[in-house]
Structure 1
Amino acid sequence: MNKFNSTQKIGEIVNAFPKAADIFKEYKVDFCCGGNRPLSEAINEQNINESELLNKINSEYENYEANAKDKNWVEASTSEIIEQILNKHHAYLWSELPKISKLSTTILRVHGPHYPELSKVHKLFNTLKMELEDHLTKEETIQYPAIKEYEKSNSQNDLKKA
């Protein structure tokens, strides 16, 4: 069953499924300033294959939903949890923060003259981005390797006692 259709507003689709923004970029569909109009308008204006676009969005959404099922993390080892954090959450942030930064800069450039508060939003986002990147780097280079080493040496000590 398809979740998204061409009668929905472009912005509503992106709000419900942020990954749709990447697909809209690929098809050059404006989801920012043009987000308040039905997808069908962009499809008609740009002569986009409606079924192809909607199939792509709905298929990506179905994949997202199917992969959202979580493992029982209570039973996972510390190393498994660390790998999950690195491969899912850290990888996502490393991938998305630069994209959001670029969008933030574009919004400031285009709309900043009429909305001076966007300058503060831009500055706050970039401060947050810098702090997040610093945090991720510390976890990846110091904390997680130390935890994995502790887990490994602790397991070896337990084996020696047996």
Structure 2
Amino acid sequence: MTAISPSSTLAELVIARPARTRLFEQLRLDYCCGGSRTLAEACAQRELDPSTVATLIAALDAEPGDRDDAHDVTRASVGDLCDHIVAAHHGALRRDLPLISDLVATVVRVHGVQRPELRDLQRVFTTMRVSLEQHMVVEEETLFPACRATAAGVLRGVDEELLGQHEADHDEVGESLVALRELSGGYSAKRALCGTHRALLESLRELELDLHQHVHEENNILFPRVRAAAVR
């Protein structure tokens, strides 16, 4: 087994081996917004033993077969990465957010009196949806064209204020996801009050997974690459 250094950042570990995201999701180690933290720091926050987690990572790496999947975009060009994010992640959000909104509305209408926390969930989700929809428009119309131009050498610098605002937006999304998970009891199917509620919990769980990957690809791969291109 290859030794895993506790001083490696979560972003570095995932970029080196994208399949590690599955373990990090199980352990709830934040590799997207918190990707700049070291493994030791992240484990301390979750009260996990970094040596044990490092052993689990090494064991995963040693499993036979190709463990890396279609989420491996580490070698994509800036332009291809922007296209991937729009097609894979923005496309999924535009498809899924309205569907989840309908599920939330139905569950609140039927079970809101019995489970008042569902109204809090609806409020958090609705606020996050509005933010994400606005965020995607700015990315597609302003940020991503600027990223492509910077990588191509057309722009001599990158708008740090714009990148910083997007990173702050990602932090807000991360906080919303934490709140949604808490309000949903960790998306446990055992908490489902009916078939619609069960579908909502599963949809929110899948949304969380996709947004973690989405933010990771921007914060930890796209933005550092654009910043590096800007100083060449």
State the structure with bigger RCO (CA 8 A, min sep 6), 1 or 2: 2
Bigger Rg, structure 1 or 2: 1
What TM-score do the two structures reach when normalised by structure 2? 0.35
After TM superposition, the score normalised by the length of structure 1 is 0.49
